[in-house]
Structure 1
Amino acid sequence: MLYTPIKFRNVELKNRWVMSPMCMYSSENGLANDFHYVHYGSRAQGGVGLLIVEATGVEPRGRITNYCTGIWNDEQAAELKKIVKFVHENSDSKIGIQLGHAGRKGSTWESKQIPVEEGWETIAPSPIPYHPSERIPHELSSEEIKELIQNFKDAAKRAVEAGFDVIEIHAAHGYLVHQFLSPLSNTRTDNYGGSFANRIRFLLEIVDAVNEELNDDVALFVRISGTEYAENGWNIEDSVKLAKELKNHSVDLVDVSSGGNIHGAKIPVYDGYQVPFSAQVRNEADVKTGAVGLITKNQQAEEILQKGEADLIFVAREILRNPYLAVQGSFEKNEECFFPHQYLRAKISS
């Protein structure tokens, strides 16, 4: 299964390997540069079915750091378009982009909040900082929430014009959308807080707005945290309920990660530790899912797919260590997988 195609709308991935979005902290003013061009272009030579560009801010305050990428203006989109063009012309990989907003976890460097003079005032659904030592984030008004939804819509429009095949909305890891989902970070009493239906409203309105900019040639994924490992917080049962709603709102795949919203949460980490969350969401919500989290080997990935625990395998750090993970696995199993014609002499050792 690992080397069989899968289709989302009209977007066909040649195999089930996905390079997860990973921040590179190498931009200035949100602009991708030569590093990004080489980084993403070279990863596309490794045979993954899909690679996803790092969390990209839909507005300046949406970045995690001053050095994160953005797509809130046309100049940024033009630089990303160069990367997309190279990937399409020089590989079989499809390429996606993760649209995100850091919310209260923005204006940081090396996991610490920087002074507002060097960064910016952070925003959140409620005036609750991620860590007690951090400044209190600005509580969003209903009007400001609508503006943010428009930011996501505008970013999606630019991403489509740049030629991306997949848009992923980042609703995980304690960033802004996740902050709305969790009753621990969202204590609002208006239409965007309180009940489960109200807390997921922001995400669903973003999904609907983004879908207005998409067509059958661009698929829509959403990354969520299956649980935040905290009592009375967002949990796997909530994720199943949310996934059912996302499916009804034309989301093609739910990318299931975990954690990130509660400082100091105890997370049991082991190989494939998040796969059970993907499996539960997939099987109880009847949606396609992606599994992520310490998946490092070909056989491990194959077993996840064979057991029906996911439809795609998202790999992060292992792709940084070994950009050719996918194609090397295909050599072992005698499977078909993209390998640059310039490198074919290396396909058979002698």
Structure 2
Amino acid sequence: MTSIFDNTQFGRFTLKSHIIRTGLWESQNDGKNLTPEIYERYENLAKNNVGLIISEMISLYSHDRFSDYSHYINYPQFVKEFRELTDAVHQYNVPIFAQIGFINCNVNGKQMMEVNDLTLEDIRKIQADYLIAAKKIAFSGFDGIQLNVGNNYYLSRIMDPFENQRNDNYGGNTYNRVKIVLEIIKLIKQTTDLHVHCRVNLYKDFDDSMEICRILAENGADSLQVTKFLSPQYFRKTLSNENMLVEFANKVAGEVSIPVVLGGGLSDMEKINNLINETNIHFVSMQRPFVRSHELLTKWKEEGHGESDCKTCNNCYWKKASTCLIKSQE
């Protein structure tokens, strides 16, 4: 029987566990500087049996909807400070990816552009900005880049068959709707050695979502993380929609040749062990349980069982915090 703490391959990386730590908000930066608390958080995660770390959100653009609660790619000290952070993680032989994306599209002097209003010039500007960001991420010592093309981030809306009503080469069939992302992946892989990890939705159309995953896997993506269409702001876990995500991730993992990560929903060691032994899914990501405790996995490994103390209150989401607000009051 496979254990979540068995070494496992994730692309070219050997991971110490099957658990991926996914980041979200950053509330401990000083202006945009990385503080000692941030370095300590990442080092604690790295030395406590996590397999792979994905950073807190890095905004591609300033003045984005959530840029006040994230890092910013064009912060002047980005490369210097994140090089120190990735070095701290790497001393524990743990890979780290940078998560990047944007919500609002404000390029070429235009504001709040809808998917169907993008010109070819606008598309090329977005792609160029991703390429520049990827180079900074590579210079900073990250091992990979997570393209956040899931949840309600802008590129996920371009891939959404209900929102994208374009009648050019970037609209219509599934391939065309994914084409912007495929071209970004190609640019990144031509100019960097970064592992390209795509966070992608289970949309309302199950079959179309499957096709999106296949297209990404066949055209340069090195791994996928499948997640819910709506963010935790709207999502309330029930047995039915949790099972739907597991069913979808299991089917994707059975049909593509790259690693597939189940994006959230599980925080119990026994259930995760059962999942990786009974399905095609071999990797599970967690976010809120690690906000609650950086040492969670070490405790599980030592005791042979366990469940996160996270109460799923979503205060860390609502308050846009990278620390547990309940724990700070205990």
Report the TM-score when normalising by structure 1: 0.77
* Cα distance, 1:45 vs structure 2: 2.8
- Quote the residue 2:200 is aligned against: 224
The structure with the largest helix share of the pair is: 2
- Quote the residue 2:22 is aligned against: 20
Task: Quote the Cα distance in structure 2 between the aligned partners of 1:242 and 1:191.
Answer: 16
Task: Quote the Cα distance in structure 2 between the aligned partners of 1:180 and 1:238.
Answer: 13
The structure 1 residue matched to 2:284, chosen from 313, 317, 330, is 313
- Quote the residue 1:42 is aligned against: 44
- Quote the residue 1:131 is aligned against: none
* Cα distance, 1:50 vs structure 2: 0.9
The structure 1 residue matched to 2:266, chosen from 295, 307, 310, is 295
The structure 1 residue matched to 2:114, chosen from 124, 134, 142, is 124
Assess if the C-alpha contact under 8 Å between 1:13 and 1:50 holds in 2: yes
Task: Quote the Cα distance in structure 2 between the aligned partners of 1:31 and 1:123.
Answer: 30
The structure 2 residue matched to 1:282, chosen from 238, 245, 253, is 253
* Cα distance, 1:9 vs structure 2: 4.0
1:329 aligns with 2:330: no
Task: Quote the Cα distance in structure 2 between the aligned partners of 1:76 and 1:29.
Answer: 12
Task: Quote the Cα distance in structure 2 between the aligned partners of 1:211 and 1:311.
Answer: 25
Local SS of the residue matching 1:72: coil
Task: Quote the Cα distance in structure 2 between the aligned partners of 1:61 and 1:275.
Answer: 35
The structure 1 residue matched to 2:68, chosen from 66, 82, 88, is 66
Assess if the C-alpha contact under 8 Å between 1:222 and 1:254 holds in 2: yes
Task: Quote the Cα distance in structure 2 between the aligned partners of 1:180 and 1:61.
Answer: 21
Local SS of the residue matching 1:220: strand
- Quote the residue 2:206 is aligned against: 236
Q: How many residue pairs were aligned?
A: 297
| One-letter amino acid of the structure 2 residue matched with residue 302 of structure 1 | N
Which moved further from structure 2: 13-22 or 236-245?
A: 236-245
**1:90-109 alignment runs, 5 A limit:** 91-103=92-104
Off by >6 Å, runs of 4+ in structure 1: none
1:188 aligns with 2:146: no
- Quote the residue 1:213 is aligned against: 191
Which moved further from structure 2: 23-32 or 50-59?
A: 23-32
Local SS of the residue matching 1:60: coil
| One-letter amino acid of the structure 2 residue matched with residue 76 of structure 1 | F
Local SS of the residue matching 1:221: strand
Report the TM-score when normalising by structure 2: 0.81
The structure 1 residue matched to 2:179, chosen from 193, 197, 201, is 201
**Cα gap change, 1:6 to 1:103, in 2 (>3 Å):** farther
**Cα gap change, 1:200 to 1:30, in 2 (>3 Å):** farther
Local SS of the residue matching 1:200: helix
* Cα distance, 1:141 vs structure 2: 1.7
Deviations 1:8-35 (CA, angstroms, capped at 9, x unpaired)? 4432212111111211244466544334
Which stretches in structure 2 are left out of the alignment for 5+ residues? 306-330
| One-letter amino acid of the structure 2 residue matched with residue 277 of structure 1 | F
Which stretches in structure 1 are left out of the alignment for 5+ residues? 107-119, 127-138, 230-234, 335-350
| One-letter amino acid of the structure 2 residue matched with residue 328 of structure 1 | K
Assess if the C-alpha contact under 8 Å between 1:5 and 1:14 holds in 2: yes
**1:125-274 alignment runs, 5 A limit:** 125-126=115-116, 139-215=117-193, 218-227=194-203, 229=204, 235-260=205-230, 269-270=238-239, 272-273=242-243, 274=245
